[in-house]
Chains A and B, each alone.
Chain A
Amino acid sequence: LSRAQEALRESESHSRLIIETAHEAFVAIDIDGVIIDWNRQAENLFGWPRQEALGRRFDDTIVTPQGHQAQIEGYQHFLSTGEGMVLDHRLEVMAKHRQGRQFPVELTIWPIQLGQTYRFNAFIHDISERKQAEQMKSDFVSFVTHQLRTPLAGIKWLLELASEEEALPEAPRSYIQDARESADRLIKLVNDLLDISRLERGKFNILPEAVNLGELTHSVLAEVSPLARQKGHQLLCTRLDEIPAMIVDRQLMRQVMLNLVSNAIKYTASGGEISMQLCRMGATVQWSITDSGIGIPKAAQARLFEKFYRAENGLTVETEGTGLGLYLVRLILGQFGGRVWCESEEGKGATFLFTLPLTE
């Protein structure tokens, strides 16, 4: 018997040790809500030494005033039904330190039946840091919007003003021109990052409207034609099927086409040929652009639409890319049930295609 008692005592002290060394606060209460266990981490987290915490009411000790009602209701619900809203899953609530400071915690509570009565065991940990990080992530987006764009607009505008000075010598004039291009690149990068972050978080307010893809293609073509001329490219539409208006976001679709067309211009050596097609194929619309550029190695094709990915051979031609453009294209098309891919052989040009379901 004494050996059994010995074994029991050993097992108890072992359990005690586990509880005492846990990284989480451990709190147990009885059926009346009185604290009956309180580990070292609970002492640290809530500021109550074990000796003082034991015997106190749980709700007066660590539950915030706002949490009282919910706690009482949950408790009564459990007593009458045997089910608990907080039992068996993780719950995020605000807790209270002895000094009155409130902080977010995650807790799991489960009941243990002891004959006619219950006790409740809870593991609790502080999630202040995680909450802060989540907040920072969403704050960052608005930070980028306002705090980065304001000085960027300052740079852009003052450089524009400087470039209008008449008596400017050739060298400073070219420096100013280069600085303007850099500023515009940075602004585009900020815009892309912002769009991506909002699309990823589902925070983008899409404005669907009836859009004629043929007209949109022509307007994008008109927009990029100065750039195409500069590089001596021939840029044309070779096929434009009659397509009913699509219900999409005009700005976003414009961005998709613009990204694909500017890629074709960038990655094709001077004097190339670039053609666009818009075809109706059953219940889908297919838009494509074919260039006579450097092409894309097979291995890179699958990864081309990943965030920040850039194909090896692209890096040697164009160092300014960010690896965001095609990712953004994919994100946008995904919003409208579309798909994008590319067909290419290295050195033999590339075709980028996207499809959208017809919305009739």
Chain B
Amino acid sequence: MGGQPKHILLVEDDRFLRKAAEATLRRHGFAVSTAVDGEDALQQVQRQIPDLILLDLIMPKIQGFEVLRLLKQDPDTQRIPVIVLSNLGQENDVHQALECGAVAYFIKSNLSLQALVSHVQENLKGGTT
């Protein structure tokens, strides 16, 4: 990976998950910023547009589905690829997220960090930035 490191915004309210995912992404050469809830996430996106967002669904203040909808409504942010990382695994949650414009949906407990990194890399290759 040459040039500027890609910037990932990690939105996750659980501090252990945040810690693990952040450390892994940094190890793989990404620039990572973290948000602890939906409101925090939207404010950070206003300040700086990340190359990709990892988004939790059940969070304090503004829930993930709402964050996703707002991001996709705004012309400035609608092109940012969003990967949903949730522990809700009902088919309708998955459908709803994909319909709202998420590029992928994973259940955290079923996903390894290694797999997370490759999904991030894969979705950055699309090169929407």
Tell me, yes or no, whether A161 is within 8 Å of chain B by CB. yes
Is the pair B89, A194 in contact by a Cβ cutoff of 8 Å? yes
Beyond A153-B108, A154-B20, whether A146 also contacts B87 by CB under 8 A is yes
Partner of B113, one of A161, A187, A205, A207: A161
Chain B interface residue number, banded? 20 to 34
Partner of A149, one of B16, B107, B112, B114: B107
Is the pair A156, B23 in contact by a Cβ cutoff of 8 Å? no
Beyond A149-B87, A150-B14, whether A187 also contacts B110 by CB under 8 A is yes
Q: Name the CB-closest residue of B to A205.
A: B91
Is the pair B114, A154 in contact by a Cβ cutoff of 8 Å? no
Shortest C-beta distance, B36 to chain A (Å), equals 14
Task: Report the bound CA distance from A207 to B91 in whole Å.
Answer: 8
Interface 1/0 per residue, A141-159 and B, CB below 8 Å: 0000110011111101110
Interface residues of A: mostly helix, strand, loop or mixed?
Answer: helix
Q: Name the CB-closest residue of A to B16.
A: A154
Is the pair B113, A154 in contact by a Cβ cutoff of 8 Å? no
**Cross-chain pair count, CB within 8 angstroms:** 62
Tell me, yes or no, whether A191 is within 8 Å of chain B by CB. yes
Is the pair A150, B108 in contact by a Cβ cutoff of 8 Å? yes
Task: Report the bound CA distance from A46 to B89 in whole Å.
Answer: 43
Q: Name the CB-closest residue of A to B114.
A: A160
Interface 1/0 per residue, B79-99 and A, CB below 8 Å: 000000001111110000000
Which A residues between 166 and 215 are near B, CB-CB below 8 angstroms?
Answer: 187, 190-191, 194, 198, 204-205, 207
Task: Report the bound CA distance from A89 to B69 in whole Å.
Answer: 48
Is the pair B88, A157 in contact by a Cβ cutoff of 8 Å? no
Task: Report the bound CA distance from A194 to B107 in whole Å.
Answer: 13
Tell me, yes or no, whether B70 is within 8 Å of chain A by CB. no
Q: Name the CB-closest residue of A to B112.
A: A160
Task: Report the bound CA distance from A103 to B24 in whole Å.
Answer: 52
Interface residues of B: mostly helix, strand, loop or mixed?
Answer: helix
Shortest C-beta distance, B76 to chain A (Å), equals 31
Task: Report the bound CA distance from A145 to B87 in whole Å.
Answer: 6
Tell me, yes or no, whether B103 is within 8 Å of chain A by CB. no
Partner of B20, one of A146, A160, A187: A160
Is the pair B113, A153 in contact by a Cβ cutoff of 8 Å? no
Is the pair A153, B88 in contact by a Cβ cutoff of 8 Å? no
Shortest C-beta distance, B34 to chain A (Å), equals 14
Is the pair A158, B89 in contact by a Cβ cutoff of 8 Å? no
Is the pair A205, B90 in contact by a Cβ cutoff of 8 Å? yes
**What residues of A have a CB within 8 angstroms of the CB of B14 in the complex?**
150, 153-154
Which B residues between 17 and 45 are near A, CB-CB below 8 angstroms?
Answer: 17, 19-21, 23-24, 27
**What residues of B have a CB within 8 angstroms of the CB of A205 in the complex?**
90-92
Q: Name the CB-closest residue of A to B27.
A: A164
**What residues of A have a CB within 8 angstroms of the CB of B16 in the complex?**
151, 154, 157-158
Shortest C-beta distance, B87 to chain A (Å), equals 4
**What residues of A have a CB within 8 angstroms of the CB of B118 in the complex?**
none
Is the pair A152, B109 in contact by a Cβ cutoff of 8 Å? yes
Tell me, yes or no, whether B104 is within 8 Å of chain A by CB. no
Partner of B21, one of A149, A157, A191: A157
Task: Report the bound CA distance from A146 to B59 in whole Å.
Answer: 11
Task: Report the bound CA distance from A144 to B15 in whole Å.
Answer: 19
Shortest C-beta distance, B13 to chain A (Å), equals 9
Q: Name the CB-closest residue of A to B93.
A: A145
Tell me, yes or no, whether B58 is within 8 Å of chain A by CB. yes
Is the pair A153, B17 in contact by a Cβ cutoff of 8 Å? yes
**What residues of B have a CB within 8 angstroms of the CB of A187 in the complex?**
109-110
Is the pair B89, A150 in contact by a Cβ cutoff of 8 Å? no
Q: Name the CB-closest residue of B to A162.
A: B20
The listed residue with most A CB atoms (<10 A of its CB), out of B24, B87, B92, is B87
**What residues of B have a CB within 8 angstroms of the CB of A156 in the complex?**
109, 112
**What residues of A have a CB within 8 angstroms of the CB of B27 in the complex?**
164
Chain A positions within 8 Å of B, measured between CB atoms, are: 145-146, 149-154, 156-158, 160-161, 164, 187, 190-191, 194, 198, 204-205, 207
Given A154-B16, A157-B108, A205-B92, 12 other A-B residues pairs in contact with their CB atoms under 8 A = A145-B87, A145-B90, A149-B109, A150-B109, A151-B16, A153-B109, A153-B111, A154-B17, A156-B109, A157-B113, A190-B109, A207-B91
A-B contact pairs, 6 of them (CB 8 A): A145-B90, A153-B111, A157-B112, A161-B113, A187-B109, A198-B90
